[in-house]
Chain A
Amino acid sequence: MTTQGCAGARVVIAGSPVRLGSWRPLALLGLAVATASGCTGTTGHLALASTRDLDLAAIEKPSGRRVKGRSCIHVVTVVPIGMPKFDAAIEDALRQTGGTALVDVVVGYEVYDIPFVYGLACYVAEGEAR
């Protein structure tokens, strides 16, 4: 029964130009997925970075937890809504532990994009929170 129902549906779709048109959004979605891209890059290695008043006693602690923070913006068509900030990425990482500084920091950039539709651009800061 199920097989017949499917076959019947296929005949209706194939025979109807209106139904064929309903594939257009799917085709556009496929095109969007096919052209979607992403890239990442490193924009700096820092031994120590902080957006807060530095607690020197804290940075002498033997080790802290490795954390990653992000600051992202949306790109609608080709228009960026704001600018990502890498101090916000560091602050986001510090917020996770309550630390005052990140050590052995890698600052990076990530971009994910469906051309002319939507994009996401982020600064990423990863380091050991002290």
Chain B
Amino acid sequence: MRLAAVLALAGTVGCAVHVASLKVVTTKRIPADRIRSARSRGWRDGHSCRFWLVGLPFGLPQVDEAIDEALAPVGGILMRDVTVTSAHSVYVLFGWHCYRVRGEVFG
């Protein structure tokens, strides 16, 4: 029992790596004048995750999903000064791969 707990703990790992820094990004087509008039709605986070089991992924996380999650709560249309992180969490035989975005939302 104790050995199983130790093995489970040893197999529980995670890591996150920075994969992008973007000056501006959006998932929606916006006219330039709308971009000019956009006002800051604060710094927001979003993420998109996919589960995997014994090495088999159930799809790939999507950066646009993560961005939409950050934009939606404040009615944002674009993000500036965005950092994108790819995060992996492993619980022995299963885990998640996620994209996390953080940036200043404008809307």
Contacts and interface: CB of A to CB of B under 8 A. Distances in A.
A47 B20 contact: no
Contact of A43 (B24, B29, B32, B63): B63
A37 interface: no
B62 A47 contact: no
A83 B20 contact: no
A84 B25 contact: no
B92 interface: no
Given A48-B78, A59-B32, A83-B17, A41 B60 contact: yes
A52 B21 CA distance: 10
Contacts of B60: 41-43, 109
Give 4 closest A-B pairs by Cβ, nearest first: A44-B63, A87-B20, A56-B32, A44-B64
- Chain B interface bracket (under 10, 10 to 19, 20 to 34, 35 or more): 20 to 34
Interface in B24-40: 24-32, 35-36
A107 B63 contact: yes
A51 B23 contact: yes
A46 B19 contact: no
A90 B23 CA distance: 11
A85 B19 contact: yes
- Indicate the member of A84, A90, A107 with the most B CB atoms within 10 Å: A107
B78 A51 contact: no
Given A56-B36, A83-B17, A86-B84, A47 B23 contact: no
Contact of A123 (B19, B25, B64): B19
A14 to B, nearest CB: 43
Interface in B3-49: 17-32, 35-36
B19 A47 contact: no
B99 interface: yes
A60 to B, nearest CB: 5
Nearest to A59: B32
A72 B64 CA distance: 21
